[in-house]
Amino acid sequence: MNSPWPLGRCFFSAKFPWLNLPPLGAVQRDLPFRGTYLFAFLQERLFPEGCTLCGKILESGAGAFYGLCAPCRKNLESLMPEPDTGRRCSLCGRPLISERETCLSCRNGPSRSFDRALSLFPYAGTYRNLLRAYKFGRRLSLGNFFAKQLLRGYKMLFPATSGQPECWIPVPPRPGKIKKTGWDQIDYLARLLERHGADPPVRRCLKRLSSENQKELNRERRRSNLKGRITVKEGPRFFQANFFKEGPGKAGTAEGSLQGKAYPVPKTALVFDDVYTTGSTLDACAEALKNRGAERVYGLCLFYD
């Protein structure tokens, strides 16, 4: 028997279909977990928002949880790449139109620091509206939908148990972004992954130094804008007073104590972001990690532009 709650599946789900509890064993590393549908359902009943795309009233727990009705979800997921179907660029993961292994921009562009990336949906039409509703309209339930897609993308990037990354790393926001907009949509996805027990864990070990907004720049300038502007965070102050151990500086000197120890950098990491445009953000993240000892860095983005 799959479900640890047989009665919940047989009796209650027949009587209250909106409960629709997923069997626990099947969702160890997936969204959603027990109870979250019910909470979302009650929230939707109290503060109805409707489906983000078609505006239909959300009557099921799953619909309320994802902020999308079942037909809209099915429609969106139908364009999701499947592991064995649809040819994708072996480097950036965008769909291929030619018979080559890599896409035109990867062949003609500068070499990449990341090893491989995958982007899921085209950043156009409905998908664009979806991201805008999440990012600017703060439709937080869409975060659940995106987190679920990230988990699906993860399984596509790493179908085998070997070679899996040690952690998820969110692309860090620009300094002052949270102060200005009140939140960071990537970090919110990281929090959702954590809340649902992401395995491997999430590590926020990157930070972005001040740079111009990538969206306002052309393709050439995007790359130079981020050059060296993403770095690995230093460790907490507590660990920086490293007088007696060998550190990056000379032990026992002012240099050693101030420079301190950086956070341990994972050997293999998966960096995730919302939109893949030129790949320069992922590239800057991968470069920063590899400069500090990472061996393989993968990228996962929700959309490709």
How far apart are CB 250 and Zn ion at their closest, in Å? 45
Nearer to Zn ion, 40 or 91 (CB): 91
Nearer to Zn ion, 28 or 129 (CB): 129
For Zn ion, the closer of residues 76 and 190 by Cβ is 76
Angle of CA points 12, 15, 21, to nearest 5°: 40
Residue closer to Zn ion, measured from CB, 51 or 167: 51
Residue number with CB closer to Zn ion (66 or 202): 66
Burial 220-248 (b: 16+ CB within 10 A, else e): eebbebbeebbbbebeeeeebebeeeebe
Q: Give Cβ neighbours of residue 84 (< 8 Å, ≥ 6 apart).
A: none
Residue 232 or 303: which CB sits closer to Zn ion?
Answer: 303
- Which three-class secondary structure state does DSSP give residue 41? helix
Distance of CA 172 to the CA centre of its chain: 11
Task: Closer to Zn ion by CB, 69 or 230: give it.
Answer: 69
The residues that touch Zn ion, with contacts defined as CB under 5 A, are 51, 53-54, 56, 69, 72, 89, 91-92, 103, 106
Q: Of the two residues 269 and 282, which places its CB atom closer to Zn ion in the complex? A: 282
- Shortest approach of Zn ion to residue 75 CB, angstroms? 8
Residues pairing with 269 in the sheet = 167, 297
Give 59's contacts (C-beta < 8 A, 6+ positions apart). 18
d(CA 65, CA 104): 39
Min dist. Cβ of residue 73 to Zn ion (A): 8
For residues 5 and 24, what is the distance between their CA atoms, to the nearest angstrom? Answer: 8
CA-based angle 127:133:136, to the nearest 5?
Answer: 125
CB 288 within 8 A of CB 259: no
Whose CA is closest to 276, among 228, 222, 200?
Answer: 222
Min dist. Cβ of residue 57 to Zn ion (A): 10
Least Å from the CB of residue 293 to Zn ion: 26
- Report in angstroms how near the CB of residue 31 gets to Zn ion at its nearest: 19
Go through the chain and tell me how many residues it has: 305
Q: In this structure, are strands 116-122 and 206-208 parallel, antiparallel, or unpaired?
A: unpaired
CA–CA–CA angle 115, 120, 121 (5° rounding): 140
* Shortest reach from residue 115's CB to Zn ion, in Å: 13
Q: How far is the CB of 288 from Zn ion (least distance, A)?
A: 21
